């Protein structure tokens, strides 16, 4: 499935309104076997903006596509300059109560798995194990020639050495770790090649216009088949990358529950959509279930 940078999604039908009633979410989690599917909205409280919510980055920023990245050196220079600067902020982001709640639910045996559309690693930082990173992770870099995978921190060190004094002031940071810089600010930023073969380096993430690896998609489909219900957290489900799992769950008769402040493309498949901030909503659910976010029991 190739992803496109969809800027907007307009409902073509009347959708049920959102609710503030957390009981269906608490009931599903209390029964166990819940598969979590998270999107950019779960990380906004960590200082990382989402794509399509209020003030979302797509209103000012078009993400790099795989085709543009591979087509020319200038596009890669622009990408790596912006991404290198953004990584300094992105890499300092810390898990928020939403991430900690998901990790706590997992510790208490309430989840069957976690799939995230995010590339920030915050679920793992909060303590979640076995997270399926649907779109990869920014903390890894892959060579398009030899396939070597290396840590992002190593590339950051090499880029610092190749671009001493590079410290422009960015207008903002985006969910993909890309900082908003003008072409003048990018300037003659130097891109470094693969240390092993001299090939082109790319973050180990799925760009828009690129396909999610088929084996990863099938793994996620298997998780949906094994789950008792699907809980969507902070995703508009605008792109098919995540929506396909909602459709799969609904077609199999599994309850789909969504926590997202704005309407989503998956609402018509859902038992409910809770229109509350994620951190507060999941913390409240944890309290109802006697689950402590710090690792112990809440009661």
Which residues participate in the annotated binding site for Zn(2+)?
A: 143, 146, 194, 197
Residue 174 · residue 119 · CB < 8 Å: no
d(CA 129, CA 287) in angstroms, rounded, equals 22
DSSP string, 211-273: BPPHHHHHHHHHHHHH-SEEEEES----SHHHHHHHHHHHHTT--EEEE-SS--TTGGG-SEE
Please report which helix (H) or strand (E) contains residue 38, including its range: strand 34-38
Cα–Cα distance, 128 to 273 (Å, whole number): 24
Report helix, strand or coil for 37. Answer: strand
Question: Would you list which residues are annotated within the binding site for NAD(+)?
Answer: 39-59, 117-120, 234-236, 278
For the annotated catalytic residues, the residue numbers are 135
Which tokens in the block code for residue 97?
Answer: 């109560």
* Angle at which helices 23-31 and 278-289 cross, to 10°: 50
**What's phi and psi for 228, nearest 5 deg?**
-85, -30
Smallest CA-to-CA distance from 160 within 127, 189, 200, 129 is with 189
Burial of 128 from C-beta contacts in 10 A (0-12 / 13-18 / 19+): buried
Which residues contact residue 272 at a Cβ distance below 8 angstroms, ignoring those fewer than 6 apart? Answer: 19, 21, 24, 25, 257, 258
Q: How far is residue 173's CA from residue 49's CA, in Å, rounded to a whole number? A: 7
Phi, psi of 207 (to 5 degrees): -70, 160
Give the separation between CA 160 and CA 30, rounded to whole angstroms: 48
């Amino acid at each position: 499935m190739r992803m496109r940078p969809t800027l907007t999604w307009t409902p073509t039908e009347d959708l049920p309104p959102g609710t503030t009633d957390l009981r269906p979410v608490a009931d599903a989690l209390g029964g166990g076997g819940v598969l979590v599917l998270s999107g950019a909205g779960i990380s906004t409280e960590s200082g990382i903006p989402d794509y399509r919510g209020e003030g979302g980055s797509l209103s000012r920023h078009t993400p790099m596509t795989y085709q543009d990245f591979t087509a020319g050196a200038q596009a890669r220079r622009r990408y790596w300059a912006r991404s290198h600067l953004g990584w300094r902020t992105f890499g300092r982001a810390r898990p928020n109560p939403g991430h900690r709640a998901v990790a706590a639910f997992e510790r208490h045996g309430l989840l069957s798995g976690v799939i995230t559309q995010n590339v920030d690693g915050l679920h793992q930082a909060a303590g979640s194990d076995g997270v399926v990173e649907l779109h990869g992770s920014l903390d890894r870099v892959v060579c398009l020639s030899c396939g070597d995978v290396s840590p992002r921190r190593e590339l950051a060190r090499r880029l610092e050495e190749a671009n001493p004094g590079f410290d422009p002031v960015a207008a903002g940071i985006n969910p993909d770790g890309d900082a908003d810089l003008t072409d003048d600010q990018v300037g003659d930023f130097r891109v470094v090649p693969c240390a092993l073969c001299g090939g082109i380096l790319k973050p180990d993430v799925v760009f828009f216009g690129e396909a999610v690896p088929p084996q990863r998609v099938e793994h996620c489909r298997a998780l949906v088949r094994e789950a008792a219900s699907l809980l969507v957290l902070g995703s508009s489900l605008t792109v098919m990358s995540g929506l396909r799992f909602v459709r799969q769950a609904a077609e199999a008769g599994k309850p789909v529950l969504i926590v997202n402040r704005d309407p989503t493309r998956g609402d018509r498949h859902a038992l409910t959509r809770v229109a509350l901030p994620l951190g507060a909503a999941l913390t409240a659910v944890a309290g109802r279930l006697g689950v402590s976010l710090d690792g112990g029991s809440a009661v």
